[in-house]
Chain A
Amino acid sequence: MTFTDLIKDKNIVKGEDLESEALIVAQKVLCNMGLDFIPKSYADFLHHYNGMKYEGVYLFGATVDDDMDIIDKNEQMDKPENSILLGYNEFDLLCYDFKSKQYKIVDRSDFEVMNTYEVNEMDDALSAIFSAQ
Chain B
Amino acid sequence: MSRGKYARKHQRQLEESVIKSKRSPLLDEFFDDSYNFISKFKQLNTDTQLEIVRLLHNIVKKEENSPSHGEEKHYAEDARYFLNNIYKLAGCSYDHSNFYPLATDEKRLIRMECYGTINRRKECELSFLYKYFRKKSEPEKHQQSSYKLLASPSWKVFHQFESFRSIEPSIRKYLHKSGIHPDALQVMTVSDFCDVIYHAYKKDDNDIVANFLPKTECIKSKQNRAIIKYAGKEFEALLMKRHTSDGKQIDERAVKSYCDMMRRFGCDDLNLLVITERNYTERTLNDLSNAGFDVSKLQIGMPIEQSFIDYLVDNNKADLILARDENGIPLSKDGLPQTQYHHNHSVMLARKEDTIAACDYPNNGVNVDVRIHQEFLHRFDKVMHTGGGVEQISARLNIQNKNMRVLLGFDAEKDALYCDLENTPEFRRRKVKDLKCKVNYFDMMQKRMQNEGKIIEKHQIDCSRSYIQEGYRNLKEVKNTDEYNKEAMRQVEKLLRAQYYSKRKGKGK
Contacts and interface: CB of A to CB of B under 8 A. Distances in A.
The answer to whether A binds B is yes
Interface of A: 1, 3, 6, 11, 13, 19, 21-22, 25-26, 28-29, 32-33, 55-56, 58, 62-64, 66-67, 69, 71, 75-78, 90-92, 107-112, 114, 124, 127-128, 131-133
Contacts of A108: 346, 378, 381
Interface string B110-125: 1110110111000000
Contacts of B340: 56, 90
B101 A112 contact: yes
Interface string B4-47: 11110110011011000000000000000000000000000000
Contacts of B111: 91-92, 132-133
B271 interface: yes
Interface stretch (B174-182, B206-214, B397-405, B484-492): B206-214
A29 B117 contact: no
Given A19-B4, A29-B14, A133-B117, A55 B107 contact: no
Q: Which of A1, A26, A29, A32 has the most CB of B within 10 A?
A: A1
A88 to B, nearest CB: 9
Contacts of B378: 77, 108
Q: Which 10 A-B pairs have the closest CB atoms?
A: A22-B6, A11-B271, A131-B209, A132-B115, A109-B348, A127-B208, A133-B111, A29-B13, A133-B112, A109-B346
A110 B108 contact: no
Contacts of B119: 127-128, 131, 133
Interface string B329-359: 0000000000011110011100000000000
A124 B209 CA distance: 10
Contacts of B110: 91
Given A67-B374, A131-B119, A107 B10 contact: no
B7 to A, nearest CB: 5
A133 B118 contact: yes
Contacts of A128: 119, 208
B244 to A, nearest CB: 20
Contacts of B383: 78, 109-111
Interface in B411-469: none
Contact of B108 (A26, A114, A127): A114
B114 A90 contact: yes
B257 interface: no
Nearest to B340: A56
Given A110-B101, A132-B114, A132-B117, A90 B6 contact: no
B392 A110 contact: yes
Interface of B: 3-7, 9-10, 13-14, 16-17, 54, 57, 99, 101, 104, 107-108, 110-112, 114-115, 117-119, 204, 206-209, 220, 269, 271-272, 340-343, 346-348, 370-371, 374-375, 378-379, 381-383, 392, 394
Contacts of B118: 133
Given A76-B379, A91-B347, A110-B394, A29 B108 contact: no
Contact of A22 (B4, B101, B117, B348): B4
A1 B208 CA distance: 7
Contacts of B220: 55-56
A126 B379 CA distance: 23
A58 B375 CA distance: 13
B208 A6 contact: yes
Contacts of A71: 10, 13
Contacts of A67: 370-371, 374
A29 B10 contact: yes
Nearest to A23: B6
Q: Which of B111, B381, B382 has the most CB of A within 10 A?
A: B111
Contacts of A56: 220, 340-341
15 contacts: A11-B271, A25-B7, A25-B14, A32-B14, A32-B16, A33-B13, A64-B6, A91-B111, A92-B111, A109-B346, A112-B107, A114-B104, A131-B119, A131-B208, A133-B112
A104 to B, nearest CB: 13
A92 B381 CA distance: 13
Contacts of A112: 101, 104, 107
Contacts of A26: 6, 10
Q: Which of A55, A76, A90, A91 has the most CB of B within 10 A?
A: A90
Nearest to A115: B119
Contacts of A75: 13
A21 B115 contact: no
Nearest to A25: B7
B88 to A, nearest CB: 22
Contact of B347 (A13, A22, A64, A107): A107
B342 A28 contact: no
Contacts of A63: 6
A110 B440 CA distance: 21
Given A62-B6, A109-B347, A124-B208, A77 B114 contact: no
Given A114-B104, A132-B111, 18 more contacts: A1-B207, A21-B3, A25-B4, A26-B10, A28-B14, A55-B269, A62-B6, A77-B379, A77-B381, A90-B114, A90-B340, A92-B111, A110-B99, A110-B392, A110-B394, A131-B115, A131-B117, A133-B108
